[in-house]
Chains A and B, each alone.
Chain A
Amino acid sequence: MTVTEPLTVRPPQYVGARVLRVEDNKYLMGRGRYLDDLALPGMLQAAFVRSPHAHARIASIDISAAKALKGVVEVLTGAELAKMGTPLVADLQREEVLPVGKELLATDKVRHVGEAVAIVIAESRYLAEDGAQLVSVEYEPLPALVDPEQALSHGAVLLHDDVPGNNVAHIEFDSGGVEEAFAKADRVFTKRFHAGRQHAAPLETRGVMADYNPGTGHLTIWSSTQLPHFLRTLIAPHLQMSERHLTVIAPDVGGGFGLKCHVFVEEAIIPLVAKRLRRPVKWVEDRVENLAASGHAKEIVMDIDIAVTNDGRFLAFRGRYIGDCGAYSGYPWTALIDPLAAANLLPSLYDVREMSFQVDAVLTNKCQTTAYRGPGMAPGHLARETLIDDIAHELGMDPVELRIKNCIGPEPYVTVNNMRFDGGSYVESIRKAQELVDYDRFREAQAAARAEGRYLGIGFSPFVEAGTWGSEGAKALGFPAEFYDTASVTVEPDGTVTVTTGTFNHGQGHHTSLAQLAADRLGVRIENVRVVDGDTSKAVWGAGTYASRSAVVAGGSILYAATEVRNKLLALAGSLLEASPDDIELYDGQASIKGVPEKSLPIAQLAGVGYFGGALRPEGQEPTLSATRYYDPPQTYSNGVVVAIVEVDAETGRVDLQRVVAVEDCGTMLNPLIVEGQVHGAVAQGIGAALYESLEYDESGQLLSGTLMDFLYPSSTEVPTIEVSHIVTPSPVTEGGMKGMAEGGTIAAPAAVINAIADALTPFGAVIRHAPVRPADVLALIEAGRA
């Protein structure tokens, strides 16, 4: 699958090195430019009027007082917006899936607390909020559905008339012999697990600014998005505009974690309003809007059954996944983003030849669900991995040995549901983690502590991460569509390099890691490479950055394009140095004859010839040095392990997370510094899922965790130092050997922490069935065990 032989006779200058990030200074100096930092002359600001009800008919809206307020320029309701643009309809190319539409602003019905019913545009955000307070909406409350199983039940009120049973999709998979395997199994273990309702909650909320030029007919949209090109393609029809008249710019973006890989109604509304008013308009989501009305994630009720032999061999897995998907189907990925991804990754790294699952994506009167780091995979992992610990306990086996007994080998492996793993350090990473935590000694310390009435616990959580998201990988996870990315690589006339990509850096360090790849392939210094992204008028088309895809997909397309340009440089050098292009090496800014370093030319000089050399160029070589290529990788999966060690205070239920060790294998690492940063961040978010973060609704559908006083991010006192260790098993199938990474920590850490708590509470026979685990839950488990 490689397009060229090894890069040079020398090892790569940059790939694999801990190169410090080239993008840091602007952020450190406060010179980043995020959405809310942008302003245009004459700019107006918007605020939304949002529903206080979970489910209600809109009887009337009175905007007259708001319109009369000094400083308010316009107030628009859903009825008016419906004339200006069209609803966002989320659908998937699968026959089981029903399309679900979301009006730009609600017209007849609101379906969750925080749903927008009107927009106020004013001279400032302060005035817009003053106006919003004056909009008077009369609601007729309807019964609210907050339990997905109730929503599925016969006779439940319908959220959308065209979605019978409130079910966006019922999807089944069966390998054929599952029931037989369960019938003949020695033991069958079953668990219901309810994963908590989470939020990606990037520190920068979402935001949109738009400016329409009636003189050119051109509309520019700035959005805090992860996918500027894809946003343009998806939003154009809703604006009734052609893509040639739309520019989408993602400025600096303060984190996304999946939330911003969606397209939201505000991304249609703000451009439509700017076009109508002929003035720039900006809307910045505030944190309360962000928590109530952007995208929730990962709440799934799961029933997992595992058929096991007496000696601990897994024979079959069975899963039922009921996604609590909220009031709409997130656009464009749909409400299946959690429950279907959870189901398809049920086998994980276990060698199981029989599996069945059922998935329901259920609509409830809560905020819609969207992708969040490790979508579906994280809650699914929690259900399976906590059950495996329970099984080990029941069978009297060591939980690590039980896992290893059932683990696949290091070679490529095709799962029962046809995921094609490209090989990895599945067992080796577990063994390495065991060594790092000194497992045997921990067990001794645990026993000694128990004798003193102290409760220590350890949790192992090995994972396979289904990232990367090329066409094949997306299809394997249940989302059949075409996903690839494009890159252009240009050696400029002075020999410096410009790379453009359709992926988009919003904190991942692409301007460094992708530059490392291009620099090595072209033999130039990294400081002479610039990566351009985030602007549809400057960078080539691409699907954006999410699902841990950029190193592989952008990386592969850059390698392809850079190789084309490299071949032009080699031909130029061969011609000028009177040698065969095959004998030329490009390294550190110089082209030289291999083994004859004194016969060399600066690459800058080659570039000059490439542009202006006329007859000096080899015959037939066109002027300029540029190439654009696309890459759609085959399936690739990184793997690893997260281990957590906790001490539980049995009197207060407080969990002291004492140690976290992560082993990561993502194939070829472009930059270990960046890989480690991704592991650290992913694990911290997993700690949040295990212990802190949860969006809670009451029975009437009121959101009880609507601010950061109640939705609890882990802070520096809740996250210990995360020790990271690497194993490198290059992918045999991807260009460059990279495997997508950055979600494994979020997938695996929750189960590591929760298994550690359950392990600490072994004397009480604790079985944990939900996340997050609060001190009160721990205490309840202890008391149940004592009773």
Chain B
Amino acid sequence: MSTVSENLQPVVEDEITIEVTINGSPRSGRAEPRLLLADFLRQQLGLTGTHLGCEHGVCGACTVLIDGEPVRSCLMFAIQARGADITTVEGLDDDGELHPVQQAFHAKHGLQCGFCTPGMVLTCKALLDHNPTPSEPEIRDFLSGNICRCTGYVGIVESVKEAAAAGRGVSPAAPASTTTER
């Protein structure tokens, strides 16, 4: 560290230790200023569930929750997250017991290749924490910053409805599907 003048904050040039709370536990790791939060989580802390799909803030795969808010971790530097309370996908299940949002994604086929899934699941959690009874347009609007290339969002939207209904103790109507056997 160097100081540009007496009155000023120190300017960081080299690696420093970053302390954060991740999924309820204190964690720390080293980071130079340019290290992206996503890379810090993945490389320094070994939390590879946070995925990088574009590194320019469009795809949403790297979404984590910071103080409960969905944030793109490719657009933040780790150094900015000092002291933050971060939730990653690894923090959702309870010792292998799926979180209701995860359970709903399983039940409604809300995932295929799994690459967007961590960001998607966390964004859905943020939505339901914020609005436990979202309408379909509200669901679609909230998720519109998270790209899925596999599912056409059909299973994902159903999953969010399912998770919302589970929170209310009811079961949503199944989507239309018919079969003619020969």
Contact = CB atoms under 8 A, between A and B. Distances in A.
A444 B151 CA distance: 33
B153 A255 contact: no
Contact of B181 (A20, A507, A728): A728
B177 A681 contact: no
Interface in A417-468: 425, 428, 432
Nearest to A253: B113
Q: Which of B88, B109, B150 has the most CB of A within 10 A?
A: B150
B115 A255 contact: yes
Contact of A24 (B93, B111, B153, B179): B111
Nearest to A202: B149
Contact of A20 (B93, B102, B107, B175): B107
Given A677-B155, A713-B147, A27 B180 contact: no
Contact of A716 (B96, B143, B179): B143
B98 A681 contact: no
B42 A726 contact: no
A519 to B, nearest CB: 19
Contacts of A709: 56, 58
Interface stretch (A28-36, A73-81, A261-269, A573-581): A28-36
A659 B109 CA distance: 21
B109 A673 contact: yes
Interface string A625-643: 0000000000000000000
B111 A27 contact: yes
A471 interface: no
Contacts of A286: 55
B49 interface: yes
A728 B180 CA distance: 6
B149 A255 contact: yes
The size bracket of the interface on A is 35 or more
A126 interface: yes
A204 B111 contact: no
Contacts, number: 204
Given A24-B105, A30-B48, A508-B112, A685 B149 contact: yes
A287 B1 CA distance: 34
Interface in B117-144: 117-118, 121, 136, 139-141, 143-144
Given A286-B55, A287-B56, A715-B147, A203 B154 contact: no
A674 B35 CA distance: 39
A529 B89 CA distance: 28
B58 to A, nearest CB: 4
B151 to A, nearest CB: 5
Nearest to B53: A203
B47 to A, nearest CB: 7
A576 to B, nearest CB: 37
Interface in A485-519: 506-509
Nearest to A717: B144
B115 A28 contact: no
A707 B121 CA distance: 25
Contacts of A674: 109
Contacts of B181: 728
B178 A25 contact: no
A432 B90 contact: no
Contact of A725 (B34, B109, B178): B178
A28 B111 contact: yes
Contact of A204 (B43, B113, B152, B176): B113
A201 interface: yes
Contact of A30 (B58, B105, B118, B151): B118
B20 interface: no
Given A202-B113, A254-B115, A677-B112, A33 B48 contact: yes
B106 to A, nearest CB: 5
A727 B109 CA distance: 21
Given A28-B121, A287-B53, A713-B149, A680 B155 contact: yes
A205 B48 CA distance: 15
A719 interface: yes
Interface string A657-681: 0000000000001001110110011
A680 to B, nearest CB: 4
Contact of B114 (A32, A676, A721, A724): A32
Nearest to A284: B52
Nearest to A432: B180
A357 B6 CA distance: 79
The size bracket of the interface on B is 35 or more
Interface in B74-125: 88-90, 92-93, 96, 98, 102, 105-107, 109, 111-118, 121
B59 interface: yes
Given A716-B144, A721-B175, A708 B58 contact: yes
B65 interface: no
A317 B90 CA distance: 56
A726 B180 CA distance: 6
Contacts of B147: 203, 708, 713, 715
A683 interface: yes
Q: Which of A29, A32, A286, A722 has the most CB of B within 10 A?
A: A29
B150 A30 contact: no
Given A252-B114, A726-B178, A684 B153 contact: yes
Contacts of B102: 28-29
A48 interface: no
Q: Which of A203, A682, A685 has the most CB of B within 10 A?
A: A203
B36 to A, nearest CB: 9
B116 to A, nearest CB: 5
A514 to B, nearest CB: 15
Contacts of A588: none
A34 B51 contact: yes
Interface string A13-48: 000000011001111111111101101000000000
A222 interface: no
Given A202-B113, A673-B109, A28 B59 contact: no
B71 interface: no
A716 B151 CA distance: 10
Nearest to B179: A726
A27 B51 CA distance: 11
B135 to A, nearest CB: 13
A727 B143 contact: no
Contacts of B148: 203, 716
Nearest to B112: A507
Contacts of A32: 49, 114-115
B37 interface: no
B152 A684 contact: yes
Given A29-B89, A29-B98, A726-B178, A680 B116 contact: no
B179 A28 contact: no
B61 interface: yes
Contacts of A27: 111, 113-114, 117
Nearest to A126: B34
B22 interface: no
Interface in B138-175: 139-141, 143-157, 175
A103 interface: no
A730 interface: yes
Given A30-B90, A715-B145, A254 B180 contact: no
A757 to B, nearest CB: 20
A730 B149 contact: no
A257 interface: yes
A717 B109 contact: no
Contacts of A428: 180
B50 interface: yes
Contacts of A24: 105-106, 111
A725 B177 contact: yes
B151 A677 contact: yes
11 contacts: A27-B111, A28-B93, A29-B98, A201-B149, A203-B53, A287-B56, A432-B180, A716-B156, A717-B141, A721-B136, A726-B178
Given A203-B115, A257-B149, 19 more contacts: A20-B109, A28-B93, A29-B89, A29-B96, A30-B89, A202-B115, A203-B148, A204-B115, A254-B113, A287-B56, A287-B59, A673-B109, A676-B109, A685-B149, A707-B54, A708-B54, A709-B58, A723-B176, A728-B179
